[in-house]
């Protein structure tokens, strides 16, 4: 059995032959991808920590309870706020306001406006309303996804610089919306409801 030595950069134990070939470095350090490995490990630990949290259990429970607007209206107001804000954040970060309105998340537009007002997230509210005007003009946003989809598709896939700018502005969290919704949930003791 060949002996091992510590990598001169990260201290991982490596075969002496590997150390000799790479001037004392392990393969990840020698090839320059050690940082990505460590970042990946951290993301995994952070994800695992989140999946073990009260917040995650609460979110999964809400997802199971809500499959349509009618289900949403069966939730307490505080639960509705938490749900629609997290849906908004997830959709806009994943694919922008265009995705928010194309997906079933657009069904909750009216409730999302109300939730943003409740949180006093007025910049986020302004961004959402501006996106609505770009995509729907003066029309009301249909709560029916099929109708919404028809309106959106009638416009074609024209890239909209204004909409892209709204997405970028939202991604900067001008109201600290992620923090506001977490503080709101803690204040209302939402995570404790499903222990």
Q: What is the pLDDT of residues 170-189, one digit of tens each?
A: 999 999 999 999 999 999 99
Residue 36's domain comprises: 4-40
Instruction: Please name the residues in contact with 73: beta carbons below 8 A apart, sequence gap of 6 or more.
Output: 80
> Do the domain assignments include residue 147?
yes
Backbone angles phi, psi at 66, to 5 degrees: -115, 115
Res 87: pLDDT: 95
Q: What is the pLDDT of residues 91-115, one digit of tens each?
A: 999 999 999 999 989 999 999 999 9
pLDDT level of residue 67 (50, 70, 90 thresholds): confident
Q: Is the whole-model pTM more than 0.95?
A: no
> Do the domain assignments include residue 47?
no
140 and 64 within one domain? yes
Across the range 4-32, mean pLDDT stands at: 88
> Do the domain assignments include residue 48?
no
* Number of folded domains that form the chain: 2
Q: What is the pLDDT of residues 145-178, one digit of tens each?
A: 889 988 988 876 556 889 999 999 999 999 999 9
Res 192: pLDDT: 78
Residue % of the chain over a pLDDT of 70: 93
164 and 130 within one domain? yes
Burial 64-92, CB ≥16 within 10 A → b, else e: eebeeeeebeebeebbbbbbbbbbbbebb
112 and 30 within one domain? no
> Tokens representing 194?
């499903």
Say yes or no to pLDDT of 195 above 60.
no
Instruction: Please name the residues in contact with 97: beta carbons below 8 A apart, sequence gap of 6 or more.
Output: 127, 128, 131, 134, 135, 163, 166, 167, 170
Chain-centroid distance of CA 56 in Å reads 13
How crowded is residue 21: how many other Cβ atoms within 10 Å of its Cβ?
Answer: 13
């Amino acid at each position: 059995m060949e002996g091992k030595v510590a990598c001169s950069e990260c201290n991982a134990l490596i075969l002496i032959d590997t150390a000799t070939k790479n001037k004392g470095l392990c393969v990840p350090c020698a090839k320059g991808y050690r940082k990505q490995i460590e970042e990946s490990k951290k993301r995994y630990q952070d994800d695992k920590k989140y999946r073990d949290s009260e917040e995650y259990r609460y979110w999964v429970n809400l997802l199971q309870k809500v499959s349509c607007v009618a289900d949403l209206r069966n939730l307490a107001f505080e639960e509705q706020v938490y749900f629609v804000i997290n849906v908004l954040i997830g959709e806009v970060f994943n694919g922008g306001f265009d995705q928010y309105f194309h997906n079933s998340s657009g069904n909750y537009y009216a409730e999302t406006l109300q939730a943003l007002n409740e949180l006093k997230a007025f910049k986020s509210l302004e961004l959402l309303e501006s996106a609505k005007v770009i995509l729907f003009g003066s029309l009301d946003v249909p709560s029916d996804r099929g109708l919404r989809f028809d309106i959106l598709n009638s416009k074609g896939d024209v890239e909209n610089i204004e909409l892209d700018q709204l997405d970028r502005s939202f991604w900067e969290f001008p109201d600290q919306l992620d923090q506001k919704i977490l503080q709101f949930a803690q204040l209302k003791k939402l995570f404790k409801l499903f222990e």
